[in-house]
């Protein structure tokens, strides 16, 4: 393994920055390439076939071009749909992102957990399996809130995002039967922690919000144990969309140590 081989973090947009943050703290010397499929955003409204084909195709090309030591699919929708397919076609180690149902089940006091993600994630059998394995005896209520993805993207571009707008997208979780009993909400989309303050105000201080970013970062660390890291050039981010729009995210990426933005 080359010491300068990067970790590739892939997401439909900026949600993967919520994973990059804890990864930086744990592996500050690791070279990183961030890849945002802005041209394909949002994934939550697409069919499973569209997401699987797009993610596997892009990651195949990126693996060939960048020769990463590891790929993190920092997107719940992409992971729950395409993780198995990508692992079959690439020899590169792949870390996926799955809803943090297990820790939420251990944390809830009321026994009622909210699962907030995209519509595509909510309907996946993988989520059914996580519920069966880790939330037996609990009540898991799901809500697909595709609009939160674009609100998170807008927030990181410096646009004003109101609590009311976030609450409007998220309220369907607590308005369904037994929704008033929810005391723990799993943020099952990496974009959603970018709206943590707004979501906390929308749901109230007595509801605990949980996401899987720290666990994902620890998994990457575990798979990289014993490997040498050497940053031969500055880390950078690539987009499949227009570079001009991507450059509006310059400040957000700079806060995570990424100064250069490119078109893929």
Active site residue 189: yes
Torsion of CA 67, 72, 75, 77, to 10 degrees: 80
Please identify which of the residues 14, 17, 51, 75 carries the catalytic annotation: 75
Catalytic residue among 8, 51, 189, 213: 189
CA distances from 6 to 3, 31, 62, 263 (A): 8, 5, 12, 18
**Catalytic residue check, 72:** no
* Separation CA 89–CA 56 (nearest Å): 8
Distance of CA 69 to the CA centre of its chain: 20
Active-site residues: which are they?
75, 189
């Amino acid at each position: 393994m080359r010491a300068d081989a990067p970790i590739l973090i892939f997401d439909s947009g900026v949600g993967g920055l919520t994973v990059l943050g804890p990864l930086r703290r744990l592996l500050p010397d690791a070279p990183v390439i961030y890849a945002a499929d802005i041209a394909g955003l949002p994934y939550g409204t697409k069919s499973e076939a569209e997401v699987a084909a797009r993610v596997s195709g892009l990651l195949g090309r990126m693996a060939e071009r960048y020769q990463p030591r590891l790929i993190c699919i920092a997107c719940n929708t992409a992971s729950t749909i395409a993780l198995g397919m990508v692992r079959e076609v690439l020899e590169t180690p792949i870390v996926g992102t799955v809803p943090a149902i297990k820790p939420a089940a251990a944390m809830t006091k009321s026994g009622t957990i909210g699962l907030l993600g995209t519509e595509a994630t909510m309907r996946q059998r993988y989520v059914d399996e996580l519920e069966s394995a880790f939330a037996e005896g609990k009540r898991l209520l799901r809500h697909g809130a595709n609009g939160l993805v674009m609100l998170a993207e807008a927030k990181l571009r410096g646009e004003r995002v109101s609590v009311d707008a976030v609450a409007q997208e998220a309220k369907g979780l607590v308005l369904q039967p037994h929704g008033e009993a929810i005391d723990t909400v799993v943020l099952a989309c990496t974009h959603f922690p970018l709206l943590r303050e707004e979501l906390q105000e929308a749901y109230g201080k007595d509801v605990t919000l949980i996401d899987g970013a720290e666990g994902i970062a620890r998994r990457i660390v575990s798979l990289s144990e014993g490997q040498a890291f050497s940053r031969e050039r500055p880390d950078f981010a690539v987009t499949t969309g227009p570079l001009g729009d991507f450059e509006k995210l310059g400040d957000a990426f700079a806060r995570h140590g990424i100064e250069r933005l490119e078109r893929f």
